Amino acid sequence: MSGLKIETSVTTLQQYEQLPENIRAEVFDGEIFYMASPSQEHQTLLTELLVSIRNYLQRKKGECFVFPAPFDVKLSDRPLTIVQPDIMIICDKTKLDGKRCNGAPDFIIEIISPGNPADDYIRKLYYYQKFGVREYWIVDPQRKSVTVNFFEKNILNVPYTFDSIIKVSIYEDLYIDFSDISGFLNT
């Protein structure tokens, strides 16, 4: 969920870390973009998806971790590229340094904000594929759709609706039932 481009550049991690704590921002090729506060609908979807994934990972007693935003992912030092995906799964714990993930998560979900869908559909799609994310989902509450990109097998832009049960391709048996999740949006 990124947003308004600010005419400021951040070329080092140290400069990024000096931003005020109350500022949510992402950096693409050294250019900083402020992030808007998420809506109730956004946070409801994030919470339900996060709980589904966390419950699965706990049941499987696997080695992977799931994190919600805000949690930094540094995709590149040069040029500096730092994102804050809405939800991410990280299976290589050596990428975690206590502050952020250094390198691509295995799985990312972004939930579209109405004011900036191009960020998730175009910009982040490009960066996530370029830097080695294995699977990337775009959840669009306005369209009630989910777009699945399984980069590992070069399967791109597979559309689903909010009444679908969708398999997380990086796992053999993780399915997310969007009809269950979207039911929370009406409450």
pLDDT score recorded for residue 47? 96
Per-residue pLDDT band for 7 (boundaries 50, 70, 90) equals very low
Cα distance between residue 87 and residue 46, in whole Å = 7
Cis bond before residue 79 (omega within 30° of 0) = yes
Per-residue pLDDT band for 186 (boundaries 50, 70, 90) equals low
Cα distance between residue 159 and residue 187, in whole Å = 26
For residues 70-77, average pLDDT = 96
pLDDT score recorded for residue 50? 98
Cα distance between residue 120 and residue 116, in whole Å = 8
**Residue 137: how many other CB atoms lie within 10 Å:** 24
For the stretch 88-110, pLDDT in tens is 999 999 999 999 999 999 999 99
pTM: 0.92
User: What's the token pair of residue 182?
Assistant: 């979207």
